[in-house]
Each structure stands twice: as structure tokens, then as C-alpha cells.
Amino acid sequence: MRLPRQADHPDPRGQADQSDQQIDQADLLLTKLLQVPYNTAQLPLAYFWKGEIAYRKGETEASVAFFLNYLKNPVTNGEVNPVNAKYSLAYGYLKSEQYALAKNYFEQITRTVSATSTQIEQDAYLRAAYCYFMSKDFKQSLRMYETVQSLQLASADYALYQKGIIAGAMNKNPEKISLLQSIEKIYPSSALVPDAQLEVANTYLADENYQA
């Protein structure tokens, strides 16, 4: 099974310990595989899984190197495929705050999004929008978030939140406040409601508007 990009739902401690031990054992075997002769056919698979394991361990630089090696001679075998490698590689660059490189690999997965896009494609599109934002290309980032919201994809509430943040970055605080306040009205069950409320409060305080 492919390692998740985000540990939003971690295993119970005992299961996690067992999983970590198994991953360590797999990592050791993969390292040995890289060193044995006549391993040409197995190298791409080993590079891919070494990249996944390094990412899980927080070894971002090593993870990036392994995925780049895999992509030099990619093979497809179930979850081992170029799309998953580029997705993981993009996240590695994102974690290292190398936004231009991250955006490049996210956009190699998709430059468009629709209601029929896969989960990876939808997430890659969102992360590319974030990379544009962090690179201060606010207009492009905003266009992408507006697309996500207009399609009412699973992350539409996040897209609306980001639209508010972008408005603030463009010194449009009234618009920022309006967008963030609309999250609770449009998506009342969104987990982002508390974050939006806090951001609105901070904006009022920054503007010294204590009567909000």
C-alpha cells in the first residue's frame, strides 16, 4: 500500500510501531537491493519505494533524489507509476519551500480540474494554486481557486478560504473579511470555520477596528 501524503488519521500507537518496524525492514532490504549486481530491472521499483519511505521519515532531500532517479527510467507496476512519483516529488519540493519546482511537478499531473478528476488530480491542482500564491502570482492562484469553488469540489471551502487570504495579500481587507465570513454561511460544517473566524479577528485587530 502506498504511504499517505498526510497523516490526518494516524494509526493507534501500537499499530504505528508495528508499521514503522515493517517499513524499516523494507527499507533495509531495498538498500541491499540497490547494492547487489544484476539489479537493473528492479532499480526503478527500489528507487520509488525508497522515495516513499524517505518521505514518510521526513528525509525530504533523500526522497526527492530517489524519485528523480526513478523518473529517469520509470516503470509501471500497480501503485508504482510516474504519476504517483511526480505527486510525491512535488510534495517533497513543497515541503522544502521550492515552490517553482513543486508547481512544475504538480502541473505535470494536471493543469485542469473537473468534477471527474481523480483525487490526486484535484489535490495536485490545489497545491499548484498554492505554489502560485507563494510565488506571489496572486491572479493565477485566484483563478484556480475560483475554478475549484465554482465546481464545488471537495476542497471548495479551502478554495474560498484561500481566496480570502489572497485578498488580504493584495491589501483588500474588506474583501478578505467578506470572503472569510462567508465560509460559515456557505459551508457551516467546514473544519476551516474556526480558522476563518480567527483570521477575521486578526485582520480587524491589525486594522485597529476593535468594535468588530
Q: What pLDDT does residue 211 have?
A: 52
Q: What pLDDT does residue 13 have?
A: 29
Provide DSSP, 108-155: HH-S---TT--HHHHHHHHHHHHHHHHTT-HHHHHHHHHHHHHTT-TT
Q: What pLDDT does residue 6 have?
A: 43
For the stretch 89-95, contacts whose Cβ atoms lie closer than 8 Å and that sit 24 or more positions apart, written own/partner, are 89/51, 89/63, 89/64, 90/124, 90/127, 91/5, 91/55, 91/127, 92/55, 92/60, 92/63, 92/64, 92/67, 93/64, 94/127, 94/130, 94/131, 95/60
pLDDT tens-place values along the chain, 212 residues long: 334 444 333 333 233 455 788 999 999 999 999 999 999 999 999 999 999 999 999 999 999 999 999 999 999 999 999 999 999 999 999 999 999 999 999 999 999 999 999 999 999 999 999 999 999 999 999 999 999 999 999 999 999 999 999 999 999 999 999 999 999 999 999 999 999 999 999 999 998 755 54
Q: What pLDDT does residue 1 have?
A: 35
Q: What pLDDT does residue 19 have?
A: 76
Cα separation of 140 and 39, whole Å?
45
Q: What pLDDT does residue 8 have?
A: 35
Q: What pLDDT does residue 207 have?
A: 81
